[in-house]
Structure 1
C-alpha cells in the first residue's frame, strides 16, 4: 500500500476515537465512530485472500448496522427533545437502542459472534488495533451516558459477555481467537462496573490495553497464530517465552500481577453496592479465564511437542527482531500492583 495512503488511514483511525471522546454532541460522536470504521476497512483487506475479505465484510456489515441504529436513536432524540444530547427526560427506548448498538460495536455477548471470526481472518497487528484502539470510542460514549443506562440490561450484557468469553476461550487452538474471547470477557468486566463506578471502567480499559499490547507484540515477533506454533518459543526465544507466560497470567488476573488490580477493585465495588451474587459469578468465570491462559502456558513451557533436531538449537542463532518497548510494557503489565491505592483513589 502507498505510504502516504497508509499514513492518512492510520491518522484517520487515530482521530476517530479522539473526536468521539472530545465531543458532547451525539452527532459528532457518531462521526468519530464512522471515521474509525471506514478507515480500518482498507487495512482489513490489505492482504487479498478470501479470509481477509470475509473478515472485512463481517466487520463492515456488523459495524454499519450498529452505526445505523445509533444514528436512528440520535435523530429520534433530536426530533423529540430538540437537543443533540441525552437528558434525564430522554425516552428510555432510545437509550436502550444506543446501549445495544454500542454493545454490537464492542463485541459484547450476545452480539459477539463477529469478533472472533474477524480477529482470526486479519493480520495480527490489525487485530491489535481492533481489540484495543477501536474499543475506546464506544466505551467513551457509554462513559458519558452511564447515569442514563438501564442497569438490568447492562448487567445482562456484562454477565453474558463474561460467561461467553470464559467458555469460548476454552476450546480454541488459535491464539487470535483466544485473544478475541479474552477481549469479550474483559469488556464484560468493564460493563459490569459501569453503572456503579465508571472510573473503574476506565482503569480497567487502560490496564487491558497495557496487557494486550505486549501480548500481541510477542505473537507478532514470532508470527505465532496457533498453540502449536507458540509452543516453539522455547527453542527460538526462551526470554520471550517467560515474558509471554507472565503477561498471560496477568491477563487472567492472578495476584500479585497487574491484571489482578481491576478484578479486585471491581469485585470490591460490587460488594459495596450490594451485588454479591454478581461478584461471585464474575469471580468464578475469572477462574475459567485463568484456566485457558494457563493452558497456553502449559503448552509452551511444560510440554515438548515433536520437533526436528535442527529446530531445537534455534536459540543459538541471533534474533534480528529487537523490540525496545516490549520489556517496558511487560514490566508495567506485571509489576504495578503496588500502585493500586493511587490508581483507585
Structure 2
C-alpha cells in the first residue's frame, strides 16, 4: 500500500505522461508518453482494502500493453514508409493505429475490458479512468483521418453504452456504460471540432466528479444502497438524482448543453442518420436513469431512516450543494449570460 506522498508522485508522473503525448510531434514520442502514463497509473490502482484492485490493475496493464504494442508496431511501419520509401498502405496502417487508440480509450467495439475493470476500482481511480485517462488517446485520434472506422465506433459506443446499462445494479458498471455512451458523443464531437470536444469533455468530467464525489464519501457501490441511505435526507435525495438526470443529458440541466452543441453541428452537416441513432441511445440512458429516480421523486414513497446517523461534514455538504447548483441551473445561467451579451 502506497502512502499519500507516493500517490502524489505517481499522479504527477501520470499527468506528465499525458502532457508528453499531447505535445509530441511524432508517434514514437506519443507512445513514450502513453507508456509513462500507464506505468504511473497502475500503482495508483493498488488498494489493500479492495480485493479486486489487483485483478483490475492486471486487466488494465494487459489491455493497455496490447494497445501500446500495436501502436508501436504501426508507428515503426509508418517510419519505414517515410524514410525508406516502402510501398505500404498508409490508410490501413492508420486504421490499425486508430483501433489501438480506441482500445486504450475503451470505446466500442473495444470496450470489453472497461466495465469489468471499473468494478474493481475505488471511486477516485474510476473517476481518473473515466476522465483523465481518455485525454491522450482522444487527442491522438484527432490527428488521424479514418472517418469510417471512427463513425462505426461512435454508433457502436452509443448503442452499447445505452443497452449495457439497462440491467445493471452496480453503480460502477452503470457509470462505466454511461462513460462508453458519452465517449461515443465525444468521438463525434472530435470529428466536428476539437473545441466542441473540449467543451463536452469538461462538462462530462464536471458532472462525473459530482456523482463520484458523493459515492466516494458514503462508500456507495450498488443501487440498493441508494434506496437505503439517501431516502433519509430530502436534499441529498433530490439533488443526487437530479445529477443523474443531468449526466444523462436531460434538459434543462447542464448536461444537455454539450449534447445540444453536438446536435446543432450534426444538423448543420446533414448527418441525420447518425444523429437519430445517438439521440435514441440517449433516450435509452435517460430511461434507466428515470427508472432509478422515479421512486425517489414520489412524495408518498416509503422511506427508511435507519442510517440517518451517518456523518456528512459541513465542508463536503457545502461543496456538494454548490456543484449541484451549477449542475442543475448551469444551462439557465449560461443562456442568460449569452442573452445579455
1:104-143 pair list within 5 angstroms: 104-143=103-142
What is the CA distance between 1:236 and its match in structure 2?
A: 4.6
Q: Which runs of 5+ in 2 are unaligned?
A: none
Is 1:256 matched with 2:252? yes
Match of 2:206 among 207, 210, 216: 210
What is the CA distance between 1:321 and its match in structure 2?
A: 6.7
Higher deviation after alignment, 156-165 or 134-143: 134-143
2:322 corresponds to: 328
2:173 corresponds to: 177
1:145-294 pair list within 5 angstroms: 145=143, 148-294=144-290
Structure 2 vs 1, CA of residues 218 and 281 (structure 1 numbering), >3 Å: closer, same or farther?
Answer: same
Partners of 2:253 and 2:130 in 1: CA distance: 21
Partners of 1:261 and 1:75 in 2: CA distance: 41
What is the CA distance between 1:331 and its match in structure 2?
A: 2.9
TM-score (norm 2): 0.89
Secondary structure in structure 1 of the residue aligned to 2:166: helix
- The Cα offsets for residues 166-193 of structure 1, whole Å up to 9 and x where unpaired, read as 0001110000100000000000011123
2:312 corresponds to: 319
1:86 corresponds to: none
Structure 2 vs 1, CA of residues 8 and 255 (structure 1 numbering), >3 Å: closer, same or farther?
Answer: same
Partners of 2:65 and 2:296 in 1: CA distance: 39
Q: Is the 8 A contact 1:99 1:149 kept in 2?
A: no
Partners of 1:326 and 1:98 in 2: CA distance: 40
What is the CA distance between 1:206 and its match in structure 2?
A: 1.1
What is the CA distance between 1:239 and its match in structure 2?
A: 2.5
- The Cα offsets for residues 53-81 of structure 1, whole Å up to 9 and x where unpaired, read as 22111111111111111111211111111
Partners of 1:306 and 1:332 in 2: CA distance: 28
> CA RMSD of the aligned region, Å?
2.4
Partners of 2:145 and 2:99 in 1: CA distance: 11
Structure 2 vs 1, CA of residues 235 and 19 (structure 1 numbering), >3 Å: closer, same or farther?
Answer: same
Q: Is the 8 A contact 2:17 2:37 kept in 1?
A: yes
1:24-173 pair list within 5 angstroms: 24-47=25-48, 50-82=51-83, 91-143=90-142, 145=143, 148-173=144-169
Q: Is the 8 A contact 2:50 2:120 kept in 1?
A: no
Partners of 2:311 and 2:120 in 1: CA distance: 31
Partners of 1:19 and 1:90 in 2: CA distance: 28
Higher deviation after alignment, 278-287 or 238-247: 238-247
Q: Is the 8 A contact 1:197 1:269 kept in 2?
A: no
What is the CA distance between 1:300 and its match in structure 2?
A: 4.3
Partners of 1:330 and 1:23 in 2: CA distance: 37
